[in-house]
Amino acid sequence: GAVVSQHPSRVICKSGTSVKIECRSLDFQATTMFWYRQFPKQSLMLMATSNEGSKATYEQGVEKDKFLINHASLTLSTLTVTSAHPEDSSFYICSASKGSMNTEAFFGQGTRLTVV
């Protein structure tokens, strides 16, 4: 299957700082990328859908000013957690789709964010 690389895999930051997570599709062009958040023992909660060259579409309850998403190219999307707080600590996962209907989405390895 296609390869999606997410970086970093693990990050610890201080409260009030910002953290950027990168998601790259290595062997295909991803017109659509998705950002998920997973709390312990819970499902993957979709945060936002990003389309290359346009603004991301955020799910209800997700603060767009807090979770900045940029999809500047067909192979890269970034999620920036701004002014991080301990409650932002979570496992963040990106996925990428080739954009055509009825195809699987490919997932990155995930990023464990810990805000201290």
Select the residue interacting with other proteins from 21, 78, 79, 106 (CB under 8 A): 106
Angle at CA of residue 34, ends 81 and 114, nearest 5°? 30
Of residues 49 and 82, the one with the C-beta less far from other proteins? 49
Of residues 14 and 41, the one with the C-beta less far from other proteins? 41
Q: Output the CA torsion sign for 48, 34, 36, 9.
A: negative
Interacting positions 22-81 with other proteins (CB under 8 A): 32, 34, 36, 42-46, 49
**How many residues interact with other proteins (rule CB under 8 A)?**
27
Of residues 88 and 92, the one with the C-beta less far from other proteins? 92
Q: Output the CA torsion sign for 63, 64, 65, 70.
A: positive
Q: Output the CA torsion sign for 70, 79, 9, 108.
A: negative
- What is the rounded distance in angstroms from the CA atom of residue 40 to the CA atom of residue 16? 23
Residue 4 binds other proteins, judged by CB under 8 A? yes
Q: Site residues (CB under 8 A) for other proteins?
A: 1, 4, 6, 32, 34, 36, 42-46, 49, 91, 93, 95, 97, 99, 101-102, 104-110, 112
